[in-house]
Amino acid sequence: MRISDFMVWLETNWESFNNETYWGVNSVTAAIEDDRDIGIVILFKGNVCNNVIRHLPSACRIKGIPFVSITKSVIMPKKTPVAQINAVGIGRANTVLMELSRPLISKCNIT
């Protein structure tokens, strides 16, 4: 799945998200520290200074959470309540988004 396909899906299905998706570096960091059941962390390096998110790969490795970095700048769809995104953690309970993320997981830094 290309990131553009993901963004199109996100715009049309935003309402289907539940509380098993963690948006933003603070939320993702807290979820990792609280040992929430996260299936993948997506880092949007093109949207933020590296210093803001550089701790997340280490945290993911320590906890055994797959992560992937997207180096291009990503503009969020207009329907979403966030204008810019630096990180998103997808909980395993969010089966729809986990299924869409499967191609990304295959390219992750760890498994």
Please report the pLDDT score of residue 88 as a whole number.
87
Mean pLDDT of the 83-109 span: 72
Please report the pLDDT score of residue 31 as a whole number.
95
Mean pLDDT of the 23-50 span: 89
Scanning the structure block, which residue is given the tokens 């990180």? 87
pTM, rounded to two decimals: 0.76
Helix axes of 25-33 and 55-63: crossing angle, nearest 10 degrees: 30
Q: Is residue 14 within 8 Å of residue 78, measured between CB atoms?
A: no
Of residues 71 and 108, the one with the higher pLDDT is: 71
Scanning the structure block, which residue is given the tokens 């701790």? 55
Q: Domains, the chain, ranges and CATH?
A: 3-105 (3.30.1330.30)
Please report the pLDDT score of residue 111 as a whole number.
40
Please report the pLDDT score of residue 92 as a whole number.
78
